[in-house]
Protein backbone atom coordinates (compact mmCIF):
# COMPACT_ATOMS: atom_id res chain seq x y z
CA UNK A 1 0.00 0.00 0.00
CA UNK A 2 2.87 2.33 0.68
CA UNK A 3 3.58 2.55 -3.07
CA UNK A 4 0.14 4.10 -3.53
CA UNK A 5 0.41 6.50 -0.55
CA UNK A 6 -2.54 5.23 1.52
CA UNK A 7 -2.49 5.18 5.33
CA UNK A 8 -4.16 2.80 7.70
CA UNK A 9 -7.40 3.53 9.53
CA UNK A 10 -8.84 1.39 12.33
CA UNK A 11 -12.43 1.54 13.54
CA UNK A 12 -14.24 -0.17 16.44
CA UNK A 13 -15.71 -3.67 16.22
CA UNK A 14 -19.24 -2.33 16.58
CA UNK A 15 -21.03 0.84 15.62
CA UNK A 16 -24.52 2.19 16.12
CA UNK A 17 -27.06 0.17 14.10
CA UNK A 18 -28.37 3.44 12.72
CA UNK A 19 -25.07 4.08 10.89
CA UNK A 20 -25.49 0.96 8.78
CA UNK A 21 -29.22 1.43 8.21
CA UNK A 22 -28.57 4.95 6.91
CA UNK A 23 -25.31 4.16 5.15
CA UNK A 24 -25.99 0.83 3.45
CA UNK A 25 -29.78 1.12 3.08
CA UNK A 26 -32.67 -0.48 4.95
CA UNK A 27 -33.84 -2.63 2.02
CA UNK A 28 -30.44 -4.20 1.37
CA UNK A 29 -29.73 -7.87 2.14
CA UNK A 30 -27.03 -6.82 4.62
CA UNK A 31 -29.27 -4.56 6.70
CA UNK A 32 -32.44 -6.59 6.23
CA UNK A 33 -31.08 -10.03 7.05
CA UNK A 34 -27.42 -10.22 7.85
CA UNK A 35 -26.50 -7.88 10.69
CA UNK A 36 -25.52 -9.06 14.16
CA UNK A 37 -27.31 -6.40 16.17
CA UNK A 38 -27.80 -6.20 19.92
CA UNK A 39 -29.03 -3.80 22.54
CA UNK A 40 -26.51 -2.73 25.17
CA UNK A 41 -27.30 -2.05 28.81
CA UNK A 42 -27.96 1.59 28.01
CA UNK A 43 -30.68 0.56 25.56
CA UNK A 44 -28.63 1.52 22.47
CA UNK A 45 -28.87 -0.65 19.37
CA UNK A 46 -25.37 -1.63 18.23
CA UNK A 47 -24.16 -3.79 15.35
CA UNK A 48 -20.99 -5.78 14.73
CA UNK A 49 -19.71 -4.14 11.58
CA UNK A 50 -20.81 -5.94 8.40
CA UNK A 51 -18.73 -3.65 6.16
CA UNK A 52 -16.28 -0.81 6.57
CA UNK A 53 -17.19 2.01 4.23
CA UNK A 54 -19.82 3.50 6.53
CA UNK A 55 -17.60 3.20 9.67
CA UNK A 56 -14.65 4.76 7.82
CA UNK A 57 -16.78 7.71 6.73
CA UNK A 58 -18.14 8.05 10.28
CA UNK A 59 -14.57 8.17 11.60
CA UNK A 60 -13.50 10.53 8.79
CA UNK A 61 -16.23 12.97 9.81
CA UNK A 62 -15.78 12.61 13.55
CA UNK A 63 -12.03 13.24 13.30
CA UNK A 64 -12.32 16.05 10.77
CA UNK A 65 -9.98 14.34 8.33
CA UNK A 66 -11.44 16.44 5.53
CA UNK A 67 -9.96 19.58 7.15
CA UNK A 68 -6.49 18.02 7.35
CA UNK A 69 -6.20 17.43 3.62
CA UNK A 70 -8.43 17.74 0.56
CA UNK A 71 -7.97 14.05 -0.20
CA UNK A 72 -7.80 11.22 2.35
CA UNK A 73 -6.42 7.95 1.07
CA UNK A 74 -7.15 5.31 3.69
CA UNK A 75 -6.81 1.54 3.89
CA UNK A 76 -7.96 -1.11 6.35
CA UNK A 77 -7.63 -4.79 7.18
CA UNK A 78 -10.32 -5.92 9.54
CA UNK A 79 -12.75 -8.61 10.75
CA UNK A 80 -16.40 -8.30 9.71
CA UNK A 81 -19.60 -10.10 10.59
CA UNK A 82 -22.57 -11.09 8.44
CA UNK A 83 -25.26 -13.55 9.38
CA UNK A 84 -25.22 -15.59 6.18
CA UNK A 85 -25.49 -19.34 5.58
CA UNK A 86 -21.85 -20.41 5.65
CA UNK A 87 -20.46 -22.10 2.56
CA UNK A 88 -17.19 -22.16 0.63
CA UNK A 89 -15.98 -18.56 0.49
CA UNK A 90 -18.83 -17.27 2.67
CA UNK A 91 -18.30 -16.99 6.39
CA UNK A 92 -20.09 -15.32 9.26
CA UNK A 93 -16.85 -13.80 10.46
CA UNK A 94 -14.52 -12.90 7.62
CA UNK A 95 -11.82 -10.36 6.82
CA UNK A 96 -11.57 -7.57 4.33
CA UNK A 97 -8.70 -5.52 3.03
CA UNK A 98 -10.00 -2.33 1.51
CA UNK A 99 -9.27 1.24 0.57
CA UNK A 100 -11.33 4.41 0.57
CA UNK A 101 -10.16 7.52 -1.31
CA UNK A 102 -12.24 10.40 0.00
CA UNK A 103 -12.21 13.79 -1.73
CA UNK A 104 -11.70 13.41 -5.49
CA UNK A 105 -14.60 13.33 -7.96
CA UNK A 106 -12.34 12.60 -10.93
CA UNK A 107 -12.17 9.38 -12.93
CA UNK A 108 -8.42 8.91 -12.41
CA UNK A 109 -9.21 8.30 -8.74
CA UNK A 110 -11.61 5.49 -9.72
CA UNK A 111 -8.90 4.06 -11.98
CA UNK A 112 -6.33 4.16 -9.17
CA UNK A 113 -8.68 2.32 -6.82
CA UNK A 114 -9.51 -0.36 -9.41
CA UNK A 115 -5.80 -0.73 -10.20
CA UNK A 116 -4.98 -1.33 -6.52
CA UNK A 117 -7.72 -3.98 -6.35
CA UNK A 118 -6.47 -5.59 -9.54
CA UNK A 119 -2.83 -5.59 -8.34
CA UNK A 120 -3.94 -7.22 -5.10
CA UNK A 121 -5.95 -9.93 -6.84
CA UNK A 122 -3.10 -10.66 -9.24
CA UNK A 123 -0.80 -11.21 -6.31
CA UNK A 124 -3.04 -14.04 -5.11
CA UNK A 125 -4.52 -15.30 -8.39
CA UNK A 126 -2.40 -14.38 -11.43
CA UNK A 127 -4.81 -16.26 -13.79
CA UNK A 128 -8.57 -16.37 -14.26
CA UNK A 129 -9.50 -12.86 -13.03
CA UNK A 130 -12.37 -10.88 -14.54
CA UNK A 131 -12.96 -7.19 -13.81
CA UNK A 132 -16.66 -6.35 -14.24
CA UNK A 133 -17.46 -2.68 -14.54
CA UNK A 134 -20.56 -0.54 -14.75
CA UNK A 135 -21.83 2.96 -14.07
CA UNK A 136 -25.02 3.41 -12.08
CA UNK A 137 -25.02 7.16 -12.75
CA UNK A 138 -25.13 10.07 -10.35
CA UNK A 139 -27.88 10.54 -7.79
CA UNK A 140 -29.62 13.14 -9.99
CA UNK A 141 -30.52 10.63 -12.67
CA UNK A 142 -31.53 7.84 -10.28
CA UNK A 143 -35.21 8.85 -9.73
CA UNK A 144 -36.02 8.77 -13.47
CA UNK A 145 -34.45 5.33 -13.85
CA UNK A 146 -36.17 3.94 -10.76
CA UNK A 147 -39.52 5.17 -12.04
CA UNK A 148 -38.94 3.44 -15.40
CA UNK A 149 -37.89 0.26 -13.63
CA UNK A 150 -40.99 0.34 -11.47
CA UNK A 151 -43.24 0.99 -14.49
CA UNK A 152 -41.65 -1.89 -16.38
CA UNK A 153 -42.10 -4.42 -13.58
CA UNK A 154 -45.37 -3.28 -12.02
CA UNK A 155 -47.52 -5.22 -14.54
CA UNK A 156 -45.68 -8.41 -13.42
CA UNK A 157 -45.75 -7.70 -9.69
CA UNK A 158 -47.98 -10.71 -9.02
CA UNK A 159 -45.07 -12.98 -9.99
CA UNK A 160 -42.80 -11.45 -7.36
CA UNK A 161 -42.30 -12.74 -3.83
CA UNK A 162 -43.61 -10.60 -0.99
CA UNK A 163 -40.13 -9.27 -0.24
CA UNK A 164 -39.52 -8.35 -3.87
CA UNK A 165 -42.95 -6.71 -4.19
CA UNK A 166 -41.97 -4.54 -1.25
CA UNK A 167 -38.62 -3.74 -2.87
CA UNK A 168 -40.43 -2.77 -6.06
CA UNK A 169 -42.25 -0.09 -4.08
CA UNK A 170 -39.52 1.11 -1.73
CA UNK A 171 -36.20 0.52 -3.49
CA UNK A 172 -36.50 -1.25 -6.86
CA UNK A 173 -32.72 -1.27 -7.47
CA UNK A 174 -32.48 -3.93 -4.77
CA UNK A 175 -34.48 -6.31 -6.97
CA UNK A 176 -31.17 -6.98 -8.73
CA UNK A 177 -29.88 -8.61 -5.49
CA UNK A 178 -32.86 -10.98 -5.32
CA UNK A 179 -32.03 -14.66 -5.16
CA UNK A 180 -35.47 -15.51 -6.58
CA UNK A 181 -35.08 -16.96 -10.12
CA UNK A 182 -38.50 -15.57 -11.12
CA UNK A 183 -37.39 -12.05 -10.21
CA UNK A 184 -34.13 -12.47 -12.11
CA UNK A 185 -36.02 -13.75 -15.18
CA UNK A 186 -38.39 -10.76 -15.03
CA UNK A 187 -35.45 -8.37 -14.77
CA UNK A 188 -33.75 -10.01 -17.76
CA UNK A 189 -36.90 -9.67 -19.84
CA UNK A 190 -38.25 -6.30 -18.78
CA UNK A 191 -35.78 -4.18 -16.81
CA UNK A 192 -34.33 -1.13 -18.57
CA UNK A 193 -30.54 -0.76 -18.26
CA UNK A 194 -29.38 1.90 -15.86
CA UNK A 195 -26.67 2.79 -18.36
CA UNK A 196 -29.28 4.17 -20.75
CA UNK A 197 -30.22 6.80 -18.16
CA UNK A 198 -26.79 8.30 -17.50
CA UNK A 199 -26.33 12.06 -17.86
CA UNK A 200 -23.74 13.41 -20.27
CA UNK A 201 -21.31 13.98 -17.40
CA UNK A 202 -21.89 10.46 -16.08
CA UNK A 203 -21.11 9.08 -19.52
CA UNK A 204 -17.94 11.15 -19.78
CA UNK A 205 -16.84 9.94 -16.37
CA UNK A 206 -17.50 6.32 -17.28
CA UNK A 207 -15.65 6.66 -20.60
CA UNK A 208 -12.66 8.19 -18.79
CA UNK A 209 -12.57 5.33 -16.27
CA UNK A 210 -12.57 2.83 -19.13
CA UNK A 211 -9.82 4.73 -20.96
CA UNK A 212 -7.72 4.74 -17.78
CA UNK A 213 -8.08 0.99 -17.34
CA UNK A 214 -7.13 0.42 -20.97
CA UNK A 215 -4.05 2.63 -20.56
CA UNK A 216 -3.01 0.44 -17.62
CA UNK A 217 -3.70 -2.75 -19.57
CA UNK A 218 -6.32 -3.88 -17.09
CA UNK A 219 -8.87 -5.91 -19.06
CA UNK A 220 -12.51 -5.43 -18.04
CA UNK A 221 -16.04 -6.34 -19.10
CA UNK A 222 -18.93 -3.88 -19.06
CA UNK A 223 -21.74 -5.55 -17.08
CA UNK A 224 -24.85 -3.34 -17.45
CA UNK A 225 -26.62 -5.12 -14.57
CA UNK A 226 -23.86 -4.61 -11.99
CA UNK A 227 -25.62 -2.33 -9.48
CA UNK A 228 -24.07 -3.93 -6.34
CA UNK A 229 -25.98 -4.70 -3.15
CA UNK A 230 -25.34 -1.52 -1.15
CA UNK A 231 -27.36 1.65 -1.64
CA UNK A 232 -24.54 4.16 -1.52
CA UNK A 233 -23.06 3.65 -4.99
CA UNK A 234 -23.05 6.40 -7.62
CA UNK A 235 -21.40 6.23 -11.05
CA UNK A 236 -18.65 3.57 -11.05
CA UNK A 237 -19.36 0.08 -9.69
CA UNK A 238 -16.97 -2.85 -10.12
CA UNK A 239 -16.26 -6.36 -9.02
CA UNK A 240 -13.33 -8.69 -9.62
CA UNK A 241 -14.16 -12.37 -9.83
CA UNK A 242 -11.89 -15.41 -9.97
CA UNK A 243 -12.54 -18.62 -11.89
CA UNK A 244 -12.82 -21.89 -9.99
CA UNK A 245 -14.38 -20.51 -6.81
CA UNK A 246 -17.99 -21.59 -7.44
CA UNK A 247 -20.92 -19.41 -6.38
CA UNK A 248 -18.89 -17.07 -4.14
CA UNK A 249 -16.46 -15.96 -6.80
CA UNK A 250 -16.27 -12.20 -6.09
CA UNK A 251 -12.85 -11.42 -4.64
CA UNK A 252 -13.45 -7.68 -4.65
CA UNK A 253 -16.41 -5.32 -4.71
CA UNK A 254 -16.30 -1.56 -4.86
CA UNK A 255 -17.26 1.66 -6.50
CA UNK A 256 -17.85 5.37 -6.16
CA UNK A 257 -20.16 6.74 -3.48
CA UNK A 258 -20.38 10.50 -3.92
CA UNK A 259 -23.42 10.97 -1.66
CA UNK A 260 -22.46 9.03 1.46
CA UNK A 261 -20.38 11.64 3.28
CA UNK A 262 -23.18 14.21 3.02
CA UNK A 263 -25.77 11.60 3.92
CA UNK A 264 -23.87 10.85 7.13
CA UNK A 265 -23.77 14.52 8.09
CA UNK A 266 -20.69 15.88 6.31
CA UNK A 267 -20.19 18.32 3.48
CA UNK A 268 -20.70 17.12 -0.10
CA UNK A 269 -17.57 15.00 -0.61
CA UNK A 270 -17.00 12.53 -3.43
CA UNK A 271 -15.37 9.18 -2.62
CA UNK A 272 -14.49 5.84 -4.13
CA UNK A 273 -13.20 2.57 -2.69
CA UNK A 274 -13.23 -1.20 -2.69
CA UNK A 275 -12.98 -4.14 -0.31
CA UNK A 276 -11.48 -7.57 -0.96
CA UNK A 277 -12.40 -10.71 0.98
CA UNK A 278 -9.18 -12.10 2.43
CA UNK A 279 -10.51 -15.65 2.78
CA UNK A 280 -11.57 -15.62 -0.87
CA UNK A 281 -8.16 -14.32 -1.96
CA UNK A 282 -6.59 -17.23 -0.06
CA UNK A 283 -9.00 -19.72 -1.66
CA UNK A 284 -8.20 -18.32 -5.10
CA UNK A 285 -4.46 -18.61 -4.42
CA UNK A 286 -4.81 -22.25 -3.31
CA UNK A 287 -1.59 -24.28 -3.31
CA UNK A 288 0.35 -21.58 -5.15
CA UNK A 289 0.32 -19.49 -1.99
CA UNK A 290 1.47 -22.34 0.27
CA UNK A 291 4.56 -22.66 -1.92
CA UNK A 292 5.33 -18.97 -1.58
CA UNK A 293 4.96 -18.74 2.19
CA UNK A 294 8.50 -18.50 3.52
CA UNK A 295 9.35 -20.99 6.25
CA UNK A 296 9.96 -19.33 9.60
CA UNK A 297 13.44 -17.96 9.74
CA UNK A 298 15.51 -17.31 12.83
CA UNK A 299 19.01 -15.90 13.09
CA UNK A 300 19.90 -17.81 16.23
CA UNK A 301 18.54 -20.93 17.93
CA UNK A 302 19.52 -21.40 21.56
CA UNK A 303 20.00 -25.10 22.32
CA UNK A 304 19.83 -25.48 26.08
CA UNK A 305 21.07 -28.75 27.60
CA UNK A 306 22.42 -27.94 31.06
CA UNK A 307 19.86 -27.05 33.74
CA UNK A 308 22.24 -24.45 35.15
CA UNK A 309 22.33 -22.70 31.78
CA UNK A 310 18.64 -21.85 31.54
CA UNK A 311 18.94 -18.39 33.09
CA UNK A 312 22.08 -17.63 31.12
CA UNK A 313 20.27 -18.64 27.91
CA UNK A 314 17.29 -16.40 28.78
CA UNK A 315 19.49 -13.34 29.32
CA UNK A 316 21.57 -14.16 26.25
CA UNK A 317 18.36 -14.31 24.13
CA UNK A 318 17.30 -10.94 25.50
CA UNK A 319 20.64 -9.31 24.66
CA UNK A 320 20.77 -10.82 21.19
CA UNK A 321 17.23 -9.59 20.44
CA UNK A 322 18.25 -6.12 21.64
CA UNK A 323 21.11 -6.31 19.17
CA UNK A 324 18.52 -6.96 16.44
CA UNK A 325 18.69 -10.75 16.00
CA UNK A 326 15.66 -13.04 15.68
CA UNK A 327 16.19 -15.59 18.43
CA UNK A 328 14.34 -18.80 19.24
CA UNK A 329 14.97 -20.24 22.68
CA UNK A 330 14.25 -23.92 23.33
CA UNK A 331 11.62 -24.34 26.06
CA UNK A 332 10.65 -27.98 25.51
CA UNK A 333 13.83 -29.37 27.11
CA UNK A 334 14.31 -31.85 24.27
CA UNK A 335 17.40 -33.89 23.39
CA UNK A 336 20.31 -32.15 21.66
CA UNK A 337 19.47 -33.97 18.41
CA UNK A 338 15.81 -32.83 18.50
CA UNK A 339 16.83 -29.26 19.32
CA UNK A 340 19.31 -29.10 16.45
CA UNK A 341 16.69 -30.53 14.09
CA UNK A 342 14.35 -27.75 15.21
CA UNK A 343 17.11 -25.17 14.67
CA UNK A 344 17.44 -26.45 11.10
CA UNK A 345 13.69 -26.32 10.53
CA UNK A 346 13.58 -22.76 11.83
CA UNK A 347 16.22 -21.83 9.25
CA UNK A 348 18.62 -20.64 11.96
CA UNK A 349 22.01 -19.53 10.69
CA UNK A 350 23.64 -20.18 14.05
CA UNK A 351 22.88 -22.46 17.00
CA UNK A 352 24.35 -21.73 20.42
CA UNK A 353 24.68 -24.87 22.50
CA UNK A 354 24.63 -24.44 26.25
CA UNK A 355 26.07 -27.81 27.44
CA UNK A 356 27.35 -28.82 30.84
CA UNK A 357 31.00 -29.28 29.83
CA UNK A 358 31.15 -25.85 28.13
CA UNK A 359 29.33 -24.18 30.96
CA UNK A 360 31.88 -25.53 33.44
CA UNK A 361 34.49 -23.61 31.43
CA UNK A 362 32.38 -20.45 31.18
CA UNK A 363 31.71 -20.94 27.46
CA UNK A 364 29.01 -22.01 25.00
CA UNK A 365 29.41 -23.70 21.59
CA UNK A 366 28.57 -21.57 18.59
CA UNK A 367 27.64 -23.77 15.65
CA UNK A 368 27.40 -22.52 12.06
CA UNK A 369 24.33 -24.39 10.79
CA UNK A 370 25.38 -24.19 7.14
CA UNK A 371 28.91 -25.56 7.48
CA UNK A 372 28.60 -27.48 10.76
CA UNK A 373 31.74 -25.71 12.07
CA UNK A 374 31.62 -24.96 15.78
CA UNK A 375 33.74 -23.04 18.24
CA UNK A 376 33.67 -22.40 21.99
CA UNK A 377 33.03 -18.76 22.88
CA UNK A 378 33.21 -17.20 26.35
CA UNK A 379 29.73 -16.43 27.71
CA UNK A 380 30.60 -12.77 28.22
CA UNK A 381 31.63 -12.44 24.56
CA UNK A 382 28.66 -14.22 22.99
CA UNK A 383 26.67 -11.17 21.92
CA UNK A 384 29.68 -9.40 20.48
CA UNK A 385 30.76 -12.60 18.68
CA UNK A 386 27.29 -13.20 17.27
CA UNK A 387 27.00 -9.62 16.07
CA UNK A 388 30.19 -9.97 14.04
CA UNK A 389 29.02 -13.24 12.49
CA UNK A 390 25.60 -11.81 11.65
CA UNK A 391 26.85 -8.48 10.30
CA UNK A 392 30.39 -9.05 8.98
CA UNK A 393 30.05 -5.87 6.88
CA UNK A 394 30.00 -3.79 10.10
CA UNK A 395 33.47 -5.22 10.89
CA UNK A 396 34.86 -4.34 7.48
CA UNK A 397 33.82 -0.71 7.48
P1 LIG B 1 -19.11 -6.27 -0.52
O2 LIG B 1 -19.28 -6.61 -1.98
O3 LIG B 1 -20.27 -6.48 0.37
O4 LIG B 1 -18.65 -4.75 -0.51
O5 LIG B 1 -17.89 -7.07 0.06
C6 LIG B 1 -16.61 -7.01 -0.55
C7 LIG B 1 -15.94 -8.37 -0.55
O8 LIG B 1 -15.95 -8.93 0.78
C9 LIG B 1 -16.66 -9.43 -1.39
O10 LIG B 1 -16.31 -9.32 -2.75
C11 LIG B 1 -16.11 -10.71 -0.78
O12 LIG B 1 -14.81 -11.01 -1.29
C13 LIG B 1 -15.97 -10.35 0.70
N14 LIG B 1 -17.11 -10.88 1.47
C15 LIG B 1 -18.33 -10.33 1.63
N16 LIG B 1 -19.12 -11.11 2.41
C17 LIG B 1 -18.37 -12.18 2.77
C18 LIG B 1 -18.60 -13.34 3.58
N19 LIG B 1 -19.75 -13.55 4.22
N20 LIG B 1 -17.59 -14.23 3.72
C21 LIG B 1 -16.40 -14.04 3.09
N22 LIG B 1 -16.12 -12.96 2.33
C23 LIG B 1 -17.09 -12.04 2.16
C24 LIG B 1 -18.41 -4.03 0.64
O25 LIG B 1 -18.30 -4.52 1.73
C26 LIG B 1 -18.16 -2.56 0.37
N27 LIG B 1 -17.96 -1.90 1.67
C28 LIG B 1 -16.96 -2.40 -0.52
C29 LIG B 1 -16.61 -0.96 -0.80
C30 LIG B 1 -15.63 -0.24 -0.23
N31 LIG B 1 -17.25 -0.15 -1.64
C32 LIG B 1 -16.68 1.05 -1.60
N33 LIG B 1 -15.70 0.99 -0.72
Which residue has the CA at smallest separation from atom 21 of ligand 1? 90
What DSSP assignment string belongs to 162-182? Answer: HHHHHHHHH-GGGGGG---HH
User: Which of 131, 129, 99 lies closest to 113, judged by CA?
Assistant: 99
pLDDT in tens, 186-242: 999 999 999 999 999 999 999 999 999 999 999 999 999 899 999 999 999 999 999
Q: Does the beta carbon of 107 sit less than 6 angstroms from any atom of ligand 1?
A: no
pLDDT value for 297:
79
Which residue has the CA at smallest separation from atom 23 of ligand 1? 277
Q: How far is the CA of 37 from the centre of ligand 1 (A)?
A: 19
End-to-end CA distance of the chain: 35
pLDDT in tens, 294-331: 666 789 999 999 899 999 999 999 999 998 999 999 99
Q: How far is the CA of 350 from the centre of ligand 1 (A)?
A: 45
User: Which of 163, 152, 176, 187 lies closest to 227, judged by CA?
Assistant: 176
CATH class of 300-391: alpha beta
Which pLDDT band, with edges at 50, 70 and 90, does 389 fall under?
confident
pLDDT value for 387:
82
Q: How far is the CA of 205 from the centre of ligand 1 (A)?
A: 24
pLDDT in tens, 212-226: 999 999 999 999 989
Q: Does the beta carbon of 201 sit less than 6 angstroms from any atom of ligand 1?
A: no
Which residue has the CA at smallest separation from atom 14 of ligand 1? 277
Q: Does the pLDDT value for residue 8 go beyond 90?
A: yes
The residues near 2 (Cβ < 8 Å, ≥ 6 apart) are: none
Which pLDDT band, with edges at 50, 70 and 90, does 291 fall under?
low
Q: Does the pLDDT value for residue 397 go beyond 50?
A: no
User: Which of 84, 36, 76 lies closest to 60, judged by CA?
Assistant: 76
Q: Which residues pair with 352 in a beta bridge?
A: 302, 366
pLDDT value for 386:
87
Q: Does the beta carbon of 153 sit less than 6 angstroms from any atom of ligand 1?
A: no
Question: Ligand 1 pocket: which of 87, 253, 269 to mutate (most atoms <8 Å of CB)?
Answer: 253
Q: Does the beta carbon of 49 sit less than 6 angstroms from any atom of ligand 1?
A: no
Q: For residue 252, give the ligand 1 atom closest to its CA.
A: 10
Q: Does the pLDDT value for residue 30 go beyond 70?
A: yes
Which pLDDT band, with edges at 50, 70 and 90, does 266 fall under?
very high
Question: Ligand 1 pocket: which of 96, 236, 247, 258 to mutate (most atoms <8 Å of CB)?
Answer: 96
Sketch the domain layout of the chain as residue ranges: 2-141+198-291, 300-391
User: Which of 132, 68, 69, 76 lies closest to 100, judged by CA?
Assistant: 76
Q: Does the pLDDT value for residue 396 go beyond 80?
A: no
Burial 312-345, CB ≥16 within 10 A → b, else e:
bbeebbeebeeeebbbbbbeeeeeeeebbebbee
In CATH, the number for domain 2-141+198-291 is 3.30.930.10
Question: Ligand 1 pocket: which of 25, 174, 230, 277 to mutate (most atoms <8 Å of CB)?
Answer: 277
Tell me the C-alpha to C-alpha distance, in Å, between residue 62 and each of 23, 57, 264.
15, 8, 10
Q: Does the beta carbon of 250 sit less than 6 angstroms from any atom of ligand 1?
A: yes
Percent of the chain with pLDDT over 90: 86
Q: Does the beta carbon of 278 sit less than 6 angstroms from any atom of ligand 1?
A: no
pLDDT in tens, 87-140: 999 999 999 999 999 999 999 999 999 999 999 999 999 999 999 999 999 999
Q: How far is the CA of 253 from the centre of ligand 1 (A)?
A: 6
Q: Does the beta carbon of 50 sit less than 6 angstroms from any atom of ligand 1?
A: no
Amino acid sequence: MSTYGYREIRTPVFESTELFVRGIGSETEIVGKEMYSFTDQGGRSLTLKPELTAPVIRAYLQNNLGREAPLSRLYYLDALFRQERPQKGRLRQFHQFGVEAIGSPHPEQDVEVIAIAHDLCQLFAPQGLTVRLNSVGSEDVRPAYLQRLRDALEPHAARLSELDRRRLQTNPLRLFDSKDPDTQALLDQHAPHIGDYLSGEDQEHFAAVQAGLMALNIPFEHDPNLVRGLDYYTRTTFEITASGLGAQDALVGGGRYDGLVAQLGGRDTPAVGFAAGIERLLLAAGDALAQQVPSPSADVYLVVLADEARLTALTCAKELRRAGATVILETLRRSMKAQLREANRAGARVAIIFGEAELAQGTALVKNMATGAQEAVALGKLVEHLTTIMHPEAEDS
